Structure 1
């Protein structure tokens, strides 16, 4: 399906209005050459955004969630969100009826197991209308049971509510190479370093340094999913060397960038070959 934010929203709205008795609706969307963005919106159903290829970033009211290939973001029913997709991405959207969902109450990033991938791909190629007691309906219920067991990946970033912290967070999201210290930011927003540190920890649950590192990981995942080089990402984030960036990345996810994305691409190519 061609990616068009208005057409996609219209299709989803129509599907939701016609699917009161359908537990899961699946839709495969191919993003064209340009990046895609769906502005703030919400759904009656819970939404799972599964990245087959490329990267997806979801902005929720109090957090930013990243979706590298072979992971998915879960967005509960009624939660406002926007979706940013890299160019040439392939994404599966699942819309899950609130009455049958046992997924988390808050938005999160999920790791997707091979069985769940195959069920998602299969369902995305089936009719949207089906009986809950049909073979397809039973398959959808198996998918829901398996989804509820998927582990949560720590690929999210808490967005502070406090206006001064929001100002800092917005600036660093747009200029991640800015290496100003907490004391320098305190001068900028008329707060002492100690007070700013306490406020940041209270608002985000992290120290300022840990929050900024998580921001760098989120941005790196999104750019690397779009085939940016490790060197260019390290430069964009302001690391003095590629080695320093790789060390941060490996500490966060357990693998250096090349190995991490190579393993994802191998699974990605395998699944796309099977789907075709």
Structure 2
């Protein structure tokens, strides 16, 4: 395995921690500290649905229909059989919950779910039981209640809709590589060799958003990932091409109803109250 620096890595892939051949009933969970595993960016799939929780740091999940960020107190749900790839921050500590097909009434498409403190604690307990021989009738009841609670969790709008249309994919790749790029819709239309009107119509058709709203959502997804990874608000604002930190904070507050510092402080406090502070400290 080669690390991001281009040097050989001695860390095993995260998949080595998962044995799908063992029977865990309707669901199993594992905790993953990426200090111990190589971050995997290749596309893969599995028959089980997967919920990705971030205990610390963040993970960006890419699937055919979009890009999702997993900040604290949220999880990304990936239905079974969906091709996806995960990119983690270097400080990431995650919990993966795998759900057998048909075991719960969960969405048929990828989405971000809010995760209550109670549900988070239940998933952590299932992770402890999945790593031991302690699964008994009590553990099975816990799993059923956990899955019922998971099915009730509300969705969060923390995804970036994408498209496999060549022209939209080209713009997406360019802006993910350089989110500070401030080219206008007309300039992008010239870049991909279509009229501005045609590109405007295509973006709405393929993503459901106007160009301005779509780019703001891209900035939000990247900002959440970088802030959860430890970057400062000032650095993120600069990396995204905002003229001032204040302008970035205004965008963030308009999208999520609060400032970046309060957003993460509230989620950290919620996790600590649930007993997770031992996982959230680097």
TM-score calculated relative to the size of structure 1: 0.92
Matching residue of 2:197: 194
Equivalent in 131, 138, 143 of residue 141 of structure 2? 138
Q: Give the Å deviation of 1:136.
A: 0.1
Equivalent in 245, 248, 257 of residue 245 of structure 1? 248
Conserved? CA contact 1:56–1:86, under 8 Å: yes
Q: Give the Å deviation of 1:274.
A: 7.0
Equivalent in 9, 14, 23 of residue 8 of structure 1? 14
Q: Which stretches in structure 2 are left out of the alignment for 5+ residues?
A: 1-8
Instruction: Say whether residues 1:50 and 2:56 are aligned partners.
Output: no
Matching residue of 2:106: 103
- Mapped partners of 1:4, 1:78: distance in 2: 29
Instruction: Say whether residues 1:118 and 2:121 are aligned partners.
Output: yes
Matching residue of 2:182: 179
Conserved? CA contact 2:73–2:267, under 8 Å: yes
Matching residue of 1:17: 21
- CA-to-aligned-CA distance 1:36-67 (integer Å, 9 cap, x gap): 33421111211110111111110111210110
Q: How does 1:25-174 map to 2 (within 5 A)?
A: 25-32=28-35, 36-128=39-131, 134-174=137-177
Q: Give the Å deviation of 1:27.
A: 0.3
SS of the equivalent of 2:102 reads: helix
Equivalent in 267, 272, 276 of residue 276 of structure 2? 272
Conserved? CA contact 1:56–1:67, under 8 Å: yes
SS of the equivalent of 1:100 reads: coil
**Structure-2 change in CA distance of 1:177 and 1:259 (3 Å):** same
**Structure-2 change in CA distance of 1:275 and 1:215 (3 Å):** closer
Conserved? CA contact 1:24–1:140, under 8 Å: yes
Q: Which stretches in structure 1 are left out of the alignment for 5+ residues?
A: none
**Structure-2 change in CA distance of 1:93 and 1:34 (3 Å):** closer
SS of the equivalent of 1:109 reads: strand
- Mapped partners of 2:158, 2:148: distance in 1: 23
Q: Give the Å deviation of 1:102.
A: 1.1
SS of the equivalent of 1:191 reads: coil
Q: Give the Å deviation of 1:131.
A: 9.5
**Structure-2 change in CA distance of 1:232 and 1:273 (3 Å):** closer
Conserved? CA contact 2:61–2:68, under 8 Å: yes
Aligned residues: 271
Q: Give the Å deviation of 1:105.
A: 0.2
**Structure-2 change in CA distance of 1:156 and 1:35 (3 Å):** farther
Q: Which structure shows the higher helix fraction?
A: 1
Structure 1 segments, 4+ long, off by >2 Å, are: 3-8, 33-38, 127-133, 267-276
